[in-house]
């Protein structure tokens, strides 16, 4: 034994041969993989087995039982419309607060302000830094960026500023058209006129809607695919009074304020119709058309002559 130990020490010192200890070898039981072979004698078809047997077999294999219905998860990112829409006062933007009609409008707004204050308080419960004055400026930036994306036909970026409900409406009938839109200035500072909150499906799933009044000056010109002017003008600026509804999924941590819909009151004058252009087709007279015209005139004269009965 002493001789063997001297040899191993000599080999390890000079040839650097690793010496394995008995603890590093795994036992023979761990080197064998156990395979469960199927029992062909006691195997049954699924049709012959009872529901309890099927359940026990699936439980042994760790398989969940099949369901007779299909459940697909869905996410509600926006509402389908406006809940409790804002009713704009008639003559807004024309009557001043000094007149009798304007003072009446101010008094009606104060009466309806209690529900809006409660909704704003609920919005502040989700967003502590929310302020109506700051939000009006933020809403104007969202409004401008949404319309610039519409004019540039940026279908991906516009989803950051527009809800899924307003997305098809804002891009409707913009194909094969060139749109020039420009925001010049705001005649009156934007202000929050209406706010509401509601829950969908569950009480924890809360959505918030805020209506902002915009009185701005804009330039809009729409050209068709042939470059002909259909609507508006790039030179003339127009005063635009709009009531835009912004929506946010308050329960969602990553929710954003986006354009949801525009409120068009009944007393607002109708928009200018789009002038449609047509291609004037000039018919060129040929020899065939002349001969056809001569034949038709000859047949008409023969038919108009009186016929004499033979005796």
Position 37 scores a pLDDT of 80
Can you give the C-alpha Rg of the chain in angstroms?
Answer: 40
Instruction: State pLDDT tens for residues 255-279.
Output: 899 999 999 888 777 777 776 666 6
Residues belonging to the chain: 311
From CA 115, how far away is CA 117, in angstroms rounded? 5
From CA 95, how far away is CA 118, in angstroms rounded? 29
Is the entire prediction scored with pTM above 0.75? Answer: no
Evaluate whether 258 touches 247 at the Cβ level (below 8 Å). yes
For the domain covering 100-263, report its CATH number.
3.10.450.240
Evaluate whether 93 touches 215 at the Cβ level (below 8 Å). yes
From CA 145, how far away is CA 29, in angstroms rounded? 70
24 Cα distance to chain centroid:
62
Q: What are the φ/ψ torsions at residue 11 (nearest 5 degrees)? A: -65, -40
Question: What ranges do the domains of the chain cover?
Answer: 100-263
Taking the CA of residue 251 as centre, how many other CA atoms within 13 Å lie in the half-sphere pointing to its CB?
Answer: 15
Instruction: State pLDDT tens for residues 202-222.
Output: 888 899 999 999 999 999 999
């Amino acid at each position: 034994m002493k001789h063997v130990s001297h040899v191993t020490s000599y080999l390890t010192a000079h040839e650097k041969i690793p010496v394995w200890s008995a603890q590093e070898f795994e036992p023979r039981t761990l080197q064998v993989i156990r395979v469960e072979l199927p029992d062909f004698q006691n195997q049954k078809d699924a049709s012959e087995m009872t529901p309890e047997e099927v359940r026990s077999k699936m439980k042994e294999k760790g398989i969940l039982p099949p369901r007779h219905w299909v459940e697909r998860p869905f996410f509600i990112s926006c509402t389908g419309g406006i809940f409790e829409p804002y009713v704009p006062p008639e003559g807004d933007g024309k009557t001043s607060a000094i007149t009798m009609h304007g003072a009446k409008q101010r008094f009606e707004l104060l009466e309806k302000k209690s529900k809006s204050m409660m909704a704003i308080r609920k919005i502040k419960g989700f967003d502590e830094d929310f302020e109506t004055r700051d939000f009006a400026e933020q809403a104007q930036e969202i409004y401008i960026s949404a319309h610039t994306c519409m004019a540039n036909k940026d279908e991906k970026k516009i989803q950051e500023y527009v809800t899924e409900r307003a997305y098809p409406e804002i891009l409707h009938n913009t194909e094969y058209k060139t749109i020039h839109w420009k925001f010049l200035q705001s005649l009156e500072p934007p202000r929050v006129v209406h706010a509401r909150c509601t829950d969908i499906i569950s009480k924890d799933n809360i959505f918030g809607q805020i209506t902002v009044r915009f009185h701005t000056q804009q330039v809009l010109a729409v050209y068709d695919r042939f470059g002909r002017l259909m609507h508006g003008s790039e030179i003339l600026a127009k005063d635009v009074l709009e009531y835009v509804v912004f929506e946010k999924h308050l329960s969602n941590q990553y929710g954003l304020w986006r354009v949801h819909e525009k409120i068009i009151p009944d007393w607002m004058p109708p928009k200018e119709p789009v002038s449609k252009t047509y291609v004037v087709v000039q018919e060129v007279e040929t020899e065939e058309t002349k001969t056809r015209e001569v034949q038709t005139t000859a047949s008409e004269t023969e038919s108009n002559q009186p016929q004499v009965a033979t005796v």
